Structure 1
Amino acid sequence: MSERVIAPRNRGFLFLDSHPSGCARLVGDMWDAVPATVPSLGAVAPVALVIGSSAGHGLAATVAGLAHTGVRGIGVCFEKGPDRRTGTAGWYRTAATAELAAKHDRDFVFLNGDAFSDGMKDTVADLVTERFGGKIDYLIYSVAAPRRTDPDTGRKYASVLKPIGEAYRTKSLSFDDNGTAEVAIVETAAADGDDIEQTVAVMGGADWRRWIDHLTGRGLLADGFTTAALSYIGSPLTAGLYRQGTIGAAKADLEQTARDLDELLAEECGGRAVTSVNGAAVTQSSTAIPGIALYAGLLRGVLGDRMVPPIGQLTALWDQLTGAAALDLDDEGRVRLDTWELAPDVQAEVAERWQAATTTDIAGLADLDWFREQVHQLYGFAVPGIDYTAPIETDIPWPHPTTP
């Protein structure tokens, strides 16, 4: 037993500890937000693999798949367990998701390790063979990582967040130790050397393709197998550093990979591959991008509760992938779940507020309370109904699969 009181301690948007009860409550709230939760389908339920299942849109894909579509299958993520500090928030979110899955009679196994490695791919393939009837129906790919080792060459790649061509200056939102918001101009140096190649190698489509090749080689793709990689385009206000920068080059590679895989899967098993362009959300990845915090706060200021949270977006994606709703693709073959964000009137209002945003005026333009709460909740803090003065058990084990 290792009970203790956990208070939020942070450096900017990065928190040093996570709160198990807060993380669990948030996962429960996501499950409850899913409409028309299906009953258990048992051994006839479709088999899904979610790569990047513990955070952001990948977590939403996992919860929506379990609660709304009734899938069984496997989630893969890379989290750190409790030791000198608490476990990561993703560790506790995964434990809570597994508990809910078991409560609702979903046979879902969570694996913790390097999704880029062939060892993890072999472990997943063995599990599909031994536990899930040897066929997989859906694969959701949602990986945001700082580095990757190529299994063939052993070369290590590191992704960078840089503009292409020249340095980029943008407005950025931060908070001081007292929680006071500040709007400042920050500059990011341009990509040089092999920055673009390195970022594409980590965040592009290479590993997604490798997963498909690996599963195909083992004969594990069901007829009509469908795979979706989660992506983002975002606003022109953030494009200089995001969509037109090194990450954007990686996203373009991901989308080309989808087109290539779509042709391959159509021939292989009558299947398909798409990218899903999701809408804005406050995630552990997005808060690291200069300008995104300001943009998200302003977007919320414009839309309020009309913002569609990740669980709503991914519920809609599952409906399209399963045929419960028509597959709605743009001219480049991408599922678009971001139309609410990129509506011209919304973007015009956000742009007007962006131009007006200063430290003096930001409180009247952006929903700062919402943004601060969202950042805290990434780590299980600021969750209604949680007593943060009470000691809480932090030594929560990784969920081990039970006999199906």
Structure 2
Amino acid sequence: MRGHGEPKKLFCFDCDRLICRDCTIIDHSGHKFEFLTKCAPESRKTLRHSLAPLQKVAADMAGAEKTLVSEEAKVERQKEEVCRSIQQSFDKLKTVLDQRKAELVKKAGSLAQEKKEALAAQKRVLQVAQGEVQLLVEVVERNVEGTSDQDLMSIRTQLATKMEEEEKRHRQLSLEPSATADITCNLPSPQVIPDDLGSVSDRNTPRLFTHSPNTIELGSPVEVSLAGPTASLEDVSVSLKCVADPSSSLEGEVVGNGVGIFSISVTPQVRGRHDLIVKVKDEEIAGSPFRVFVKLPPSQLGRGQVRSIGSLEWPWGVAVNNKQQLVAIESGALGGGKGVTVMTRNGEKVQTIECNQFKGLRGVAVASNGAIYVTDIVMPSAFSNSVQMVNS
């Protein structure tokens, strides 16, 4: 590879590209660059080291797949055991019980089938993800070990970024089985014909087995997967509430796949701390509400419109209290401490606390319990600073 008639033996880190010696003077003056003979081995070492987390993900997925296969076998064995118990019990009953017996045997088989289908569906997802990860590992290893310095440096950023993205994405995939082999039954007594001639049930409690990261960007959906083998689509509901603004509650979309696994999605409309509430048959599942933090995406940071909030004489500091209100401190025109003003986000004054006893207010902070702390700077011949608490 040549540029300006010279071989490209250097790499520009500012532009992330190969350059020649003339480029350092013509197009890349003042940039950070280094000879390939030095930077390529370092990048090769860094990429090789970065493979470790991804390889750990692949190993964990391989182990989880073995667990799923084992759990499938346990479900089948447990189904057979339950069916034998049912058969032995109902053989002691009269012909009138045969219909009920057949229903329960069918229910046991149906429940076991649901469990196996749920495990099989999860296993297919895991196999696909494992294949993606393994393919990426092979691609990176092949490029790290078998490409030239120039080719490696040309794609090193792409490889590192792709490995980081795949690791984060696949870390969200649950490696725990979505169903377990705990089928049970209530057997009828041979001596008494009960009103309820037994039942087959699943002791599983509905639970999440995949979920979005705890922190997401505004505009991105919160996505979770719920394992609830005994639940129907109508039984599952989800809502997302902003802690600072409960009126912003949103209902999530629930989609069932027919094998006891439900996909849930809801997109927050405001930033801040949210509670994700998941219910099955009007009862919250274990762990609900789940905490989600919604932040602005990097593209929006620092690009908002600037506007004035409130009218203060000599403001020196501002903080936000536990009610999402603004707490600002003011000094008088000649110094001293005029007061603390509590305002809404729109600038409407809620409370004013006079602080004439202070000499020089210069900073403010608010504790989680609402207590307001200010810094008081006294400036005679020598400096004497202190932190004071203001009763709000």
TM-score (norm 2): 0.21
Which structure has the larger Rg?
2
Higher RCO (CA-CA < 8 Å; seq separation 6+)? 1
Q: Which has the higher helix share?
A: 1
